[in-house]
Amino acid sequence: MMKEETKVWSAEGLIDSHAHYFDSRFGGEGDHSADEILSREVFGAGIAAAVNVATNPENALACIRQAQVYSGLYAAVGIHPEDCKALGDADEEIERIRVLADTPEKRKKNKIIAIGEIGLDYYWEPYDKARQAEFFEKQMLLAKELGLPVIIHDREAHGDCFETVLRHPDVTGVFHSFSGSAEMARELCRRGWYISFSGVLTFRNARKVREVAQVVPSDRILVETDCPYLSPEPFRGRLNHSGRMVFTAAALAEARGTDYQTVVSQTSENACVLFGLPDKV
């Protein structure tokens, strides 16, 4: 009987535009610890760089501390629309983010390359639209002030997210794990935005995301894990890490009718341009 040939893709050179290595699911002992995974499965497997994305002022500190340990790990700091629920006054909370990144020296020392993740989430009820909008709006202004790109979380809030970014033409960045329409993706790209694809692209029911993957120009595509969440097939539901992004990159190549290595070089080059990473990370 013929054995079906299994393709082996190399993680070499890939850049993960969105990861959460401070998440408590990486807090386990041995195999599941963030340090073990980062040294063995991520940088040990050839991943060139990863952006460690904070979701509130507290985990922003953990996120920076980890980035300072690994040369390929960078930090994004910001307040997620879900996290703003449990926080205090918006100006005070955002000030805690601003002080981490308000001088070039601090940005360099803390390895901060973006404001994120910020945005709107109308999926998890109950949500407070006005409060989410206040945090989003004020962090867009912060990004403009600091001259940093943003990482946008948009869940079930496409219209309001699009409308908000249109009001801030001086700020661009990436829509992470994009779930909007192909039409919205096209419009964002025309305005200088990037679209990032996660493991969702490998799911059987991801027809809409595959459509998006077909229309986004090659200088606008990024790949990500959103780890520990959104593991691609065949690891769906399990602990995710940047090494598993090979399956996402392969799905992106297939959807775009191009080869795997082309997707690796395009997405990594785009990540370097957007986040101002050194050419040879």
Q: How far is the CB of 279 from Ni ion (least distance, A)?
A: 26
Show Cβ contacts of residue 275 under 8 Å, excluding neighbours closer than 6 positions. 17, 51, 74, 113, 114, 149
Q: How far is the CB of 139 from Ni ion (least distance, A)?
A: 15
Task: Name the residue with the smallest CB distance to Ni ion.
Answer: 226
Q: How far is the CB of 1 from Ni ion (least distance, A)?
A: 43
Residues making contact with Ni ion (CB under 5 A) = 226
Between CA 43 and CA 11 the distance in angstroms is 9
For residue 170, give the DSSP letter.
Answer: T
Q: How far is the CB of 22 from Ni ion (least distance, A)?
A: 12
Q: How far is the CB of 21 from Ni ion (least distance, A)?
A: 11
Chain centroid, CA 84 distance in Å:
19
Between CA 115 and CA 86 the distance in angstroms is 20
Between CA 59 and CA 75 the distance in angstroms is 11
Tokens of 240: 């995710």
Show Cβ contacts of residue 140 under 8 Å, excluding neighbours closer than 6 positions. 118, 150, 164, 165, 168, 171
| Closer residue to Ni ion, CB minimum distance, 93 or 117 | 117
| Closer residue to Ni ion, CB minimum distance, 93 or 226 | 226
| Closer residue to Ni ion, CB minimum distance, 241 or 256 | 241
Q: Are 42 and 243 in contact (CB under 8 A)?
A: yes
| Closer residue to Ni ion, CB minimum distance, 144 or 155 | 155
Question: How many helices, marked H, and strands, marked E, lie in the chain?
Answer: 10, 8
Between CA 177 and CA 222 the distance in angstroms is 10
| Closer residue to Ni ion, CB minimum distance, 75 or 253 | 75
- What ranges in 207-258 are assigned the alpha helix state H? 207-215, 245-256
| Closer residue to Ni ion, CB minimum distance, 240 or 266 | 240
| Closer residue to Ni ion, CB minimum distance, 76 or 100 | 76
Q: How far is the CB of 122 from Ni ion (least distance, A)?
A: 16
